[in-house]
Amino acid sequence: MKIVKSLLPLAVFLTVLCMGGMLACQNLNKEDLFGIQCDTTSVSYSADIEPILQSNCLHCHYDGTPVAPFSLQGFKNVLIRVNTGELEGAVNHLPGSPQMPRDGPKLPECELSLINKWIREGAPNN
Ligand code: HEC
> Same structural domain for residues 112 and 81?
yes
Residue 82 counted as domain residue: yes
> What residues are in contact with ligand 1 under a 6 Å CB criterion?
56-57, 59-61, 67-69, 81, 86-87, 89-91, 97-98, 100-103, 107
> Same structural domain for residues 42 and 82?
yes
pTM (predicted TM-score): 0.79
Q: Mean pLDDT, the chain, as a whole number?
A: 85
Residue 93 counted as domain residue: yes
Amino acid at 79: L
Residue 3 counted as domain residue: yes
> Same structural domain for residues 23 and 44?
no
> Can you tell me the distance from the alpha carbon of 99 to that of 102, in angstroms, rounded to the nearest whole number?
6
The residue whose CA has the least distance to atom 37 of ligand 1 is 57
How many domains are there within the chain?
2
The residue whose CA has the least distance to atom 29 of ligand 1 is 87
Measured in residues, the chain has a length of 126
Q: Which residues 6+ apart lie within 8 Å of 27 measured at CB?
A: none
- The residue segments making up the domain with residue 2 are 1-28
48, 54, 60, best to mutate for ligand 1 pocket (most atoms within 8 Å of CB) = 60
Residue 63 counted as domain residue: yes
> Same structural domain for residues 58 and 3?
no
- 48 within 8 A of 116, measured Cβ to Cβ: no
Confidence of residue 37 (pLDDT cuts 50, 70, 90): confident
Chain center to CA of 34: 17
Amino acid at 32: D
Q: Residue 110 Cα, ligand 1 centroid: separation in angstroms? A: 20
52, 57, 86, 116, best to mutate for ligand 1 pocket (most atoms within 8 Å of CB) = 57
- pLDDT the model gives residue 39: 94
Percent of the chain with pLDDT over 90: 71
Confidence of residue 36 (pLDDT cuts 50, 70, 90): low
Element (H, E) at 30: helix 30-34
Residue 101 counted as domain residue: yes
> Same structural domain for residues 20 and 50?
no
Residue 50 counted as domain residue: yes
